[in-house]
Structure 1
Amino acid sequence: MPEGLRLRRRGRLQFAFNFSGQAQALPFTPESDCLIGGPVLAPAGVAAWPCA
């Protein structure tokens, strides 16, 4: 996993947080559409998508 990228799961949602100073691509493609953000996170960006 890229440095500065953190993943957390809360219930049926998966979150990705970018704590680095540069854009980061998620190391995988979410199985469903992102509810927040997208597959590339800006610095301090957040993404969330549903998971099984």
Structure 2
Amino acid sequence: MILIILLLAIGVWAVGATIVELRRDGYRRTPTDWTRVPGPDALHRADPGHGYR
């Protein structure tokens, strides 16, 4: 019985720690930096890669 209580306590702690870390990790939606997006002609200027047969 003590093992079950201990496992439940560890599980609750793990879920709580996961939620806290997910809120704290800094992964948020950010706006697109349009200065880093290539122009419409980027595919035509691309260098050819390695060709495989």
Q: Is the TM value for this pair above 0.5? A: no
Bigger Rg, which one: 2
Q: Scaled by the length of structure 2, what TM-score is found?
A: 0.16
Structure 1 or 2: more strand by fraction: 1
| Structure showing greater relative contact order (alpha-carbon pairs closer than 8 Å, 6 or more residues apart) | 1
Q: Scaled by the length of structure 1, what TM-score is found?
A: 0.16
